[in-house]
Amino acid sequence: MYIDDLLKDAPPIIKDRTTISKINKASSIALNALSYSSMLLMAGTRANILDKQIAQYIIEQGGSPANYEIAGYGYATSISVESEIAHGLPKPLKLLKHSDVVCIDIGVKYKDVYADFAKTFVVGGTSKADEDALTLIRTCDNALKKSIRILRLGGMLSDYGKTVDKIVKENGFKIIKFLTGHGVGEKYHERPYIYNFYHPENDIVLKEGMVFAFELMITNGSDKYRKHEDGWTLYTYDGSIAVHFEYTVAMLKSGPKILGMM
């Protein structure tokens, strides 16, 4: 999400076990919807049709697309292709091509809670991606997961930012720093921002019951971006490929847990 003043200088909301259990269900629906969407990613697929199919799947699983609650948006997902970083509108004229790098970003509301996930795919499967794109995709997902796993109760949320920034830089890629993760659960977007680099605002002591959407966007070129005239879609300044992963994570006694997984 964009950095503005909405979520600044506010502590995370602590969730009880019942709430986390419901967020886990919302997360399961989101992850299953992403798995389902991977089977629909074929050359010639129109983004608006894909969006409608994913929305129907979410509804059939007992959830609802959280993006429908965003004023003026109008779609269940964002579908960002190649140089599009995030918030890609799934318009009818957006036609997927063989070997396209595509990020699908899904928010799910289940009962009264929310989960937020994103994953980057290759149309036709990863074997169809060129080596540079595949390395970019793997680096983003691995950096995100490794940086989540190092978190501990009593430690700092900012440990995530330090770690993910280090891993991405070591692999020669760049983070889109003006886009961040966020708290999630009782609302679709909650406090605080979660920066993908060290930021003193994230010097927050981690406590049991905190739930975060860790969200990472990286490129193999410039970290500058432009906004499309549609008012939503963000794309890289130099046309380089962007990839994007996001997981909803609860801080438990046993440590961080990516929700929705077995």
Residue 33: other Cβ atoms inside 10 A: 26
Asked if the structure places residue 7 within a domain, the reply is no
Residue 152: other Cβ atoms inside 10 A: 12
d(CA 200, CA 193): 11
Asked if the structure places residue 182 within a domain, the reply is yes
Q: Which domain holds residue 27?
A: 17-258
Residue 183: CB partners within 8 Å, gap ≥ 6? 7, 12, 13, 189, 190, 191, 192, 194, 210, 211, 212, 213
Residue 71: CB partners within 8 Å, gap ≥ 6? none
Asked if the structure places residue 4 within a domain, the reply is no
Asked if the structure places residue 251 within a domain, the reply is yes
Q: Which CATH number belongs to the domain containing residue 33 in this structure?
A: 3.90.230.10
Q: What is the pLDDT of residue 127?
A: 65
Any alpha helices (H) in 131-176, and if so which ranges?
A: 131-149, 158-170
In this structure, which amino acid lies at residue 243? Answer: V
Asked if the structure places residue 207 within a domain, the reply is yes
Six token digits for residue 118: 């994103």
pLDDT in tens, the chain (262 residues): 544 545 556 789 999 999 999 999 999 999 999 999 999 999 999 999 999 999 999 999 999 999 999 999 999 999 999 999 999 999 999 999 999 999 999 999 999 999 999 999 999 876 666 888 999 999 999 999 999 999 999 999 999 999 999 999 999 999 999 999 999 999 999 999 999 999 999 999 999 999 999 999 999 999 999 999 899 999 999 999 999 999 999 999 999 999 998 6
Asked if the structure places residue 82 within a domain, the reply is yes
Domain count, the chain: 1
Q: What is the pLDDT of residue 131?
A: 83
Q: What is the pLDDT of residue 198?
A: 98
- Which string of b and e fits 207-224 if b means at least 16 CB within 10 Å? eebbbbbbbbbbbbeebe
